[in-house]
Amino acid sequence: MSLMDDFNRNLLLGIRSGWVKWLTLLLTVIFYGVIIVLIEPIIGLPLAVLMILPVTTAGWLFGVWGGLIIGILSLPVNIFLFTLAGETNLASLIGGGGLFWHAGVLFVGVVTGRLKDLGDKSKQTEKSLRISEELLRKEKAIMESRVEERTKELRREQKALKEAKEQTDLGYIQLQRERAKLAVSIDNLPIGFVLTGPKDGILAINEKVKEILDLEQVSKVSEIEKKLLGSLNLHKALEKAKLTRHQYEFGEVLLEGKFLRIFLNPITMPHDHREFIGTAVLIEDITEAKLLERSKDEFFAVAAHDMRTPLTAIRGNAAMIKQYFPFQLKDPSLREMVSDIHESSVRLIGLVNDYLDVVKFEQKKTKLHKETFDLLDLIKETIRQLENTAGSKGLYLRLEKEGIQLPLVSADRNRTSQVLFNLIGNAIKFTEKGGVKVTVKKENGSLAVRVIDTGSGISKPDQRLLFRRFQQVGEKILTRNTITGTGLGLYSSKLLVEAMGGKIYLESSQVGKESIFLFTLPNAKS
């Protein structure tokens, strides 16, 4: 666009603004008035035709209505102006010719206004078209930019989707491989494996389960529960494991001549232990191991029984030598050797007797002689017999009881005495400072006896070894502690207490502080 075009456009815009329009019209009318009043009388020519100037100007500036109004007003304006100019013949202005001329002026004003309106509309339309085109151009550019950006996003998403699909396919293949490995591993386990679902379903099972339980097909947990019914309430055990989230072990389950060991382990999500997946059930056939153990026990029982007679003779002869031949034992070394023989024979006889006692209990060959007696008196008697042992180590040994009258108990008195000797004797043996306290209380239809010592305490790993045969706390695989013992005391005590209808367990223990062993015996019926 040239500078002249800019000037004309700006001029037109200025002229068409409000006050400029009126000023232009006013100047045109004044110019016409000056011509009529001053110039026409001088030159003597009819200049009324110049009235067309303000009319066309009004039409051009204000449109049809402007041209129409100024055209109508042109007649009275001319009359007024000619009067000012001294014109006396006004009939020609009002006559037919004058009216026709004024009508022509009015027509010119209307046509000019109409043309102006049409021009304005055309320009407005053109302007609207330009604006629309500009908007469309901008919108097109925006849409093209959006389409291009979206196309790029779609390409990125398509690429990411392709990569994700490849990773998913690879992960699926790996998952299938891992599942196959897991299935093969489970099938090759030497024990039965069942993974139960939250309900009655089975998530995984191996063939060993069917072999051990003698089942052709297993698809539900209830089928295994039905098979074990009478030997073990598996349904109740599974519900308990699910509720408590604890592991449970059933050491000996007798099923149709087989000895089974069953282990339950509830499984939860690693990140949220409240989300229960199922329970892993391990079933092991320990029949051969049990028969081998029984054969071994019978062999050792026979051997131990045969050893008891010569050991008794050794103990007796050693005691007689010490008592009746003191002059022959003047040599300290000889006297020490005889004492070692005597003490070793006493210990071996105790070991043999304990072992034979345990074997008889395990084989159900020992009969209990239940009677009603005062447990408190038996505890006092046991404490009196062990006071010297505790005193020799500088330990206290005392009894604490409730002030109320304690009921009698129904149990085997001699076997109960054996349990007391084991628990109190162990407490004295493993305590170096302080002492041992025995308490008796009524609890839930039973008498509860607690043996509390101030010894070294028992660590968590060692607590799992308690009440096992030939096992002592703190015992190492390749070394022995200086404290001697058979490792049968707690094991035999457990057999005895449970056979008499009670319970025995480690209630609590803190390393370096104390241990509390508890056993209960049922009250005698009144």
Check which CATH number belongs to the domain holding 235 and give it: 3.30.450.20
Q: Which of 224, 257, 285 is the last residue of a domain?
A: 285
- Determine what percent of the chain is predicted with pLDDT higher than 90: 10
Write down which residue in 254, 285, 316 finishes a domain.
Answer: 285
Residues 403 and 470 in one domain: yes
Are 339 and 385 in a shared domain?
no
Which is more confidently placed, 460 or 7? 460
Q: Is residue 151 part of a domain?
A: no
pLDDT beyond 90 at 163:
no
| H/E run at residue 344 | helix 332-362
pLDDT at 478 over 60: no
Q: What is the pLDDT of residues 366-397, one digit of tens each?
A: 788 889 999 999 999 999 998 988 898 899 99
| Residue 153, in any domain of the structure | no
Residue 373: the pLDDT is: 92
Is residue 244 domain-resident?
yes
182 in any annotated domain = no
- pLDDT of res. 520: 93
Point out the domain boundary residue: 309, 343, 362: 362
Q: For residue 261, give the 3-state DSSP assignment.
A: strand
Length of the chain (residues): 526
pLDDT of residue 97: 47
Lowest mean pLDDT among 105-114, 237-246, 272-281: 105-114
- Lowest mean pLDDT of 75-84, 451-460, 503-512, name the range: 75-84
Give the separation between CA 225 and CA 233, rounded to whole angstroms.
Answer: 7
113 close to 62: Cβ distance less than 8 angstroms: yes
Of 52 and 445, more confident = 445
Q: How confident is the model at residue 204 (pLDDT cuts 50, 70, 90)?
A: confident
Q: Are 523 and 446 in contact (CB under 8 A)?
A: yes
pTM for the predicted model, two decimal places = 0.49
pLDDT for the residue 100: 53
Number of domains in the chain: 4
Burial (0-12, 13-18, 19+ Cβ within 10 Å), 97: exposed
CA distances to 6, 316, 340 from 329, in Å: 146, 17, 13
pLDDT category at 315 given cuts 50, 70, 90 is: confident
pLDDT of residue 192: 82
Closest CA to 430 of 398, 402, 458: 458
Decide if 178 is inside a domain: no
- Domain range spanning residue 120? 3-141
Residue 433 has pLDDT above 60, yes or no: yes
Looking at residue 481, which CATH number applies to its domain?
Answer: 3.30.565.10
pLDDT: which is higher, 119 or 404: 404
